[in-house]
Amino acid sequence: MIIVLKQGISANSIKEVTAKLEAKGVSVSHFSDIKRDFLGLIGDTSGIDTHQLQALTEVEQIVRVEEPYKRANRKFHPENSVVKIDNETIGGGQLGIIAGPCSVESEEQIIHVAKRIKAAGANFLRGGAFKPRTSPYSFQGLELEGLRMLQAAKAETGLPIVTELMSTKWIDEFVESVDMIQIGARNMQNFDLLKEVGKTQTPVLLKRGLSATYKEWLMSAEYIMSEGNENVILCERGIRTFETETRNTLDIQAVPVIKKLSHLPIIIDPSHAGGMSYLVEAGAKAGIAAGADGLMIEVHDDPANAWSDGEQCLTPDEFAELMVKARKLAEIEGRSIQEASTILTK
């Protein structure tokens, strides 16, 4: 961290600022050019609050050279992380394909969709049991009953389960019944929830907040990791911009940027990004071409009667077609997608 001091500062003031900084446990080196003085902070500056330093009257500007995240930082962990989720992994050569309905609606529905997506090549089942809805008057999910139905679908198909946790209240139930806990975009900075999932060892799918910068997103991953749970997978699902024709703007550059800054796997959710089914194929293929480690795609047997987010769902047939194209693309990129099968095995 470099601190640029205001012009015309006295030697005494420099001493005072230096003393204040050293009291924070860092070493300070002083250098200057003709016009200005600078202080370089050496040591672990991750706990230093630049907002506080900025309040010092002597300070013109602060430049953080080091990133504030450590465990999520590729500098300290150069190899890609591969996260193990039940009998599958995300982050290695095979892409993680997560599919399923927005909401779990019935045991019959979720089992049926699970079989169809597995047959097409998906290796994870998603389905919302607790739903974050903008309106308190909208369907809020089947809750614990939904979790039970997801388990029934796993028992039928063997697909590991991914579902969203919205409250620390249900954390024990999730650890017990779920293979990967999803933290939704709206809760990306629900620090209380992040700390609690950080205390478990269940893999966490951390969606990017609607207006979160890459750094804030990685700092949220850091919250989970700093509590001991290093099994974090990032999910880009569109950011909020001025464009209203699409629900959100899929930030495809998130893939190469996160790959540079961090060792964590990153997947793409084209269903929520665009908010319309006709946008899913382009988003999914762009994600693979950009180097993502997987996809999360909403699939519903009867989108027009889905209990939530119907307009962005693919039908199982559309999903199967997409997987055929995605598989070819993945191969060109030196990755793979699980083979499609017509015979279902547990």
291 sits near a second copy (criterion: CB under 8 A): yes
Residue 155 C-beta: closest distance to a second copy, Å: 28
341 sits near a second copy (criterion: CB under 8 A): no
**Closer of 168 and 202 to a second copy (Cβ):** 168
Distance CA 330, CA 93 (A): 9
Residues 154-193: x/- map of binding to a second copy (CB under 8 A)? Answer: ------------xxxx----------------xx-xxxxx
283 sits near a second copy (criterion: CB under 8 A): yes
210 sits near a second copy (criterion: CB under 8 A): yes
222 sits near a second copy (criterion: CB under 8 A): yes
Residue 119 C-beta: closest distance to a second copy, Å: 23
Handedness of CA 107, 110, 116, 117 (dihedral sign): negative
Distance CA 308, CA 141 (A): 9
Burial class (CB in 10 A: 0-12, 13-18, 19+), 17: buried
At 297, list the tokens.
């795609």
63 sits near a second copy (criterion: CB under 8 A): yes
- In one-letter notation, the amino acid at residue 164 is E
- In one-letter notation, the amino acid at residue 209 is G
Distance CA 15, CA 293 (A): 50
Rounded to 5 degrees, φ, ψ at 106 are -160, 165
**Closer of 145 and 302 to a second copy (Cβ):** 302
Per-residue exposure over 257-274, b if at least 16 CB sit within 10 Å of its own CB, e if not: ebbebbbbbbbbbbbbbb
Query: Which of 65, 78, 342, 346 lies at the binding interface for a second copy (CB under 8 A)?
Result: 65
For residues 250-279, which are near a second copy according to CB under 8 A?
250-253, 255-257, 260, 273-279
Residue 245 near residue 270 (C-beta atoms within 8 A): no
Contact range with a second copy by CB under 8 A, out of 86-94, 112-120, 175-183, 221-229: 221-229
Residue 317 C-beta: closest distance to a second copy, Å: 15
52 sits near a second copy (criterion: CB under 8 A): yes
Residue 86 C-beta: closest distance to a second copy, Å: 26
Query: Which of 162, 281, 295, 297 lies at the binding interface for a second copy (CB under 8 A)?
Result: 281
For residues 104-133, which are near a second copy according to CB under 8 A?
132-133
Per-residue exposure over 291-315, b if at least 16 CB sit within 10 Å of its own CB, e if not: ebbbbbbbbbbebeebbbbbebbbb
For residues 302-321, which are near a second copy according to CB under 8 A?
303-313
